Structures are given as structure tokens and as C-alpha cells.
Amino acid sequence: MDGDAARARAREAAALADEVRAVATWTRRSADADWESVAAEAFRAELHAEVDAVLAAAGAVDAAAAALLAHALAVEAIASAAADAAGVVGCIVRRLLP
């Protein structure tokens, strides 16, 4: 995977995490519906626990996006170093060969 592709996947992952957070926020707000009963309280408690789990998953996706971005930077650094090394070798060869 080249640096550009890794950056693109990082952007996609970050967008997915944002989308997941938006849905979780909307879901948490829906728990505030005007419904009062023992079942409603149990439902809200379970819903909030599930939303917390979904938000944790969004955080993991954010971490994956950061890892992809770090990979892109590393790939680009290696490519740059390889190009620099090839240029140095070329200079040396030109000097050594008549």
C-alpha cells in the first residue's frame, strides 16, 4: 500500500468513526423519550451501556485511522530515503566510471 492509499483509508476510517459517533449521540438522545416505567428505566440503562460500547469502538476506529496515517508517513519517508540513496549511488557510479 502506498502512502496515498494509506492516507485515503485513514480519511475513510476517520469519517466512519465520526458517523458512528453521530449515530451514538442520536441514539443516546432518543433514550430521553417520555416513557416512564420499570421497563423504560431498564431499557435506558441497557441503551446507555450499548452506546458507551459503540463510542469505544469509534475510538478504536480513530486509533486505526491514526495508525494508517503513521504508516503513510513511514512509507513516504522510506520512499524518499530510497530515492536519495539511489541518487547518491548514481553520483558515485558516475565518478568511478570513465
pLDDT 10s per residue in the chain (98 long)?
788 888 999 999 999 999 999 999 998 888 777 778 888 888 888 999 999 999 999 999 999 999 999 988 888 888 777 776 767 777 777 777 76
Q: Which CATH number fits domain 3-96: 1.10.287, 3.30.420, 1.10.3470, 1.10.357?
A: 1.10.287
pLDDT of residue 91: 76
Q: Which of 54, 64, 59 has its CA nearest to residue 11?
A: 64
Cβ within 8 Å of residue 90, ≥6 positions away: none
The amino acid that residue 43 corresponds to is F
pLDDT of residue 98: 66
Burial class of residue 42, CB neighbours in 10 A (0-12, 13-18, 19+): exposed
35: alpha, beta or left, given left = phi > 0 and alpha = psi -120 to 50? Answer: beta
**SS3 label, residue 22:** helix
